[in-house]
Amino acid sequence: MDTASLYNSIQPRYPELCGQVAIVTGSSRGIGKGIAIRLAREGMKVVINSRTAEAVQAVAAELSELGADVLAVPGDISRSEDVDRLFEKTLNAFGTVDLLVNNAADLRRYHFFEVDEALLDYELAANIRGPYICSHRAAEVMREHRQGNIIHISSVGGLRAHWRGLPYDVTKGAIDAMTRAMALELSVYGIRVNAIAPGAIRTERTPAPEDPRIQAISQRIPLGRFGLPLEIGAAVAFLASPDAAYITGQVIYVDGGITAQLSPPGQPL
């Protein structure tokens, strides 16, 4: 489905979010784009961000044509100067930040002996340091109003290791720990911090559902299918809403039941 069809398929459910400001890093495609579409449909002012300027501008243009209030700010969150520019432009345009979604990440996974120091350093910078610095900048704004939400996008790999999961799974485990630690420290300022851990999600880069590889994976998922970016967006909208006002420091698994099972069907231990 194209952006317009996805946008129009959503029934807004949280009127309290309308007019609030959300930054979604890594939102030019995949899960991040799905989150941005959902938040825009809820009436939020959404900042679109990723490393690719053309893709950022394209998504912002698509949502703007649908009536959404969006701002395009390209940048690499592994770079402090890009994070500073992201927040400077957001505050200049919208005056505040109500929600930060730390979605941007380097997804590469290799065998232990194939991971060189350059890859390790970049994933630590992009997947841990970047979200930490973004959270710090956001919390500085949110504590002035004594309210706000920070939502990290983690992974099932933070709880259970992928086969060939390094160094990605290491960084997602750190995100889970960071979620809990930040939640405790920022609660005094009225800031809630949670994480969402997606399982197998179908994005632009996923082969078609009828592909034998996708069918084989789907058979190992309790709900029998890949998730959709909009389903992660729905979880983000809920956690940002007043309905989740008593939830903080949690990692919510949106994974079709993957982490609940000890072994997939037909492969008992």
The reported pTM is 0.97
The whole-number pLDDT of residue 104 equals: 97
The whole-number pLDDT of residue 249 equals: 98
Residue 168 designated active-site: yes
Burial class (CB in 10 A: 0-12, 13-18, 19+), 119: middle
Low-confidence ranges of the chain (pLDDT < 50): none
Report the 10 Å Cβ neighbour count for 96.
14
Residue 192's closest CA among 129, 90, 99?
99
Whole-angstrom Cα distance, residue 111 to residue 82? Answer: 31
Whole-angstrom Cα distance, residue 170 to residue 110? Answer: 12
The whole-number pLDDT of residue 208 equals: 87
The whole-number pLDDT of residue 224 equals: 95
Dig out the tokens for 7 from the structure: 């946008």
pLDDT, one tens digit per residue, over 77-99 is 999 999 999 999 999 999 999 99
Q: Which domains are seen in the chain, by residue range?
A: 3-202+228-257 (3.40.50.720)
What 3-state DSSP class applies to 85?
helix
Whole-angstrom Cα distance, residue 41 to residue 7? Answer: 6
**Active-site residue, selected from the candidate residues 122, 168, 189, 253:** 168
The whole-number pLDDT of residue 269 equals: 84
